Amino acid sequence: MTRETTLDSRQEILRTAARLFQQRGYDATSMNDVAAALNLSKGGLYHHFESKDQILFDLMDGAMDITQRRVVDEVRKIADPEQALRTLIRLHIDVVLSVRDREVTVMLHENHPLPPALRRRVNKRKKEYVHFLENLIAQVQRGRNSRSAVSPRAAAFALLGMINWIYQWYKPDGVLTGEDISREYTTIFFAGAFG
Amino acid sequence: MTRETTLDSRQEILRTAARLFQQRGYDATSMNDVAAALNLSKGGLYHHFESKDQILFDLMDGAMDITQRRVVDEVRKIADPEQALRTLIRLHIDVVLSVRDREVTVMLHENHPLPPALRRRVNKRKKEYVHFLENLIAQVQRGRNSRSAVSPRAAAFALLGMINWIYQWYKPDGVLTGEDISREYTTIFFAGAFG
């Protein structure tokens, strides 16, 4: 079996929990609910996860793993900064639109209270991604001798907002396909909406 | 008293509920919790709101009222489409950054289950705002004889993503001020991050 089709029980628990959290709300979903949905005993569930917080943290951490593997690792292989940035936009949008990953990645953006130590670990990884993107944008600006008044920091947040917001409005049967979004968002980010 | 400083009890209930929803989670906050935080009897609370769903709907509907009053109504007064669009960006960012409104407006984006009839009413208002913005962008494109490959629809969602995402990362004591964000986001949207 390929890595993509292998699901160990830990991952199965995470996906089921993510689905329940979205259907019923995080707070309203108990460890009992998660165990019942999986036909697991409560002891069986606690064998894998010591608490609901731990499940939420693992979901968020797993979403960052997906971003690392499917976006950052691929982009790092590309030497030309502009080509790397265009690829990042396309691959990050692919992750957001992936049906398979959506139930996991959407958890990153919901405002659920996590214990401070776990929250800090998730935020650290989010910040690393922002800095990676910010650095790439700065390289493109230098390569173009751009006199842009836009700071790499603001540009990074603007781009992440455009892309991460897609899950709020995207419909698979809507007029805008994933390819449309990739192409048009790249144009907007590089040349504006009226370029 | 000015309109801004007048708070009737209904609004006080809504603000308190919004704060509790964010601190404890929507699902974990009961009508009893809301009543207790306000020193109200449960009957007193139910006199104003028949259910927690109704409170959530009123919060979301109120956030759309704020957008209507502070953004759309102001932008409609401006005849020139480009000037109107620049004003919309600035005013919408002002609303997102407003400390006073944040606890209400943030509710719009959280993924809480609302009964379908109420959900449809909120979505209808969100869609009206998207269409208003989309139409404004189309007017600017026509006015500039823009041959842009960017559709007004994709551009509207990109801009809303940039702006609505700000609440995820903005810190009042961070390096980017509200004015920086307004200016740089306007530049990105009109001319790209490297213009």
Enter the tokens of residue B164: 């609505």
When pLDDT is cut at 50, 70 and 90, the band that residue A187 belongs to is: very high
Q: Is the pLDDT of residue A7 over 90?
A: no
Tell me if B153 and A176 make a contact (CB, 8 A cut-off): yes
Residues B30 and B113 in one domain: no
- pLDDT score recorded for residue A111: 66
- Nearest residue of B to residue A177 by CA position? B154
A&B contacts, CB < 8 Å:
168
Residues B16 and B59 in one domain: no
In this structure, are residues A95 and A87 in contact, taking their beta carbons and an 8 Å threshold?
A: no
Amino acid occupying residue A130: V
Residues B101 and B170 in one domain: yes
Residues A169 and A152 in one domain: yes
% of chain B beyond a pLDDT of 70: 95
Residues A18 and A68 in one domain: no
Radius of gyration of chain A (CA): 19
CATH number at residue B59: 1.10.357.10
- pLDDT score recorded for residue B72: 98
When pLDDT is cut at 50, 70 and 90, the band that residue B36 belongs to is: very high
Q: Which residues contact A86 (CB under 8 A, 6 or more apart)?
A: A186, A190
Entry pTM:
0.90
Question: What integer best gives the mean pLDDT of chain A?
Answer: 90
pLDDT digits (tens, 9 = 90+) for B1-31: 333 333 478 889 998 999 998 888 788 899 9
* Chain A residues near residue B33 by CB distance under 8 angstroms: none
Residues B45 and B101 in one domain: no
Average pLDDT over residues A128-147: 94
- pLDDT score recorded for residue A162: 98
**Pick from A106, A161, A195: CB nearest B148:** A195
In this structure, are residues A178 and B182 in contact, taking their beta carbons and an 8 Å threshold?
A: no
Domain that holds residue B177: 52-191
Amino acid occupying residue B39: N
Q: What is the ipTM of this complex?
A: 0.89
Residues B43 and B130 in one domain: no
Residues A55 and A95 in one domain: yes
Residues B75 and B140 in one domain: yes
- pLDDT score recorded for residue A147: 81
pLDDT digits (tens, 9 = 90+) for A102-115: 777 777 777 677 88
- pLDDT score recorded for residue B2: 39
Q: Is the pLDDT of residue B44 over 60?
A: yes
Q: Which residues contact A46 (CB under 8 A, 6 or more apart)?
A: A31
- pLDDT score recorded for residue B99: 73
Q: Is the pLDDT of residue A6 over 90?
A: no
Tell me if B166 and A157 make a contact (CB, 8 A cut-off): yes
- Nearest residue of B to residue A175 by CA position? B153
Residues A59 and A108 in one domain: yes
Amino acid occupying residue A153: R
CATH number at residue B23: 1.10.10.60
**Pick from B130, B150, B165: CB nearest A160:** B165
| Number of domains making up chain A | 2
The domain boundary, picked from A15, A30, A50, lies at A50
* Chain B residues near residue A169 by CB distance under 8 angstroms: 130, 157
Q: Quick one: which of A133, A68, A166, A167 has its CA closest to B193? A: A133
Q: Is the pLDDT of residue A59 over 50?
A: yes
Residues A99 and A168 in one domain: yes
Tell me if B193 and A113 make a contact (CB, 8 A cut-off): no
Average pLDDT over residues A4-14: 69
Residues B11 and B103 in one domain: no
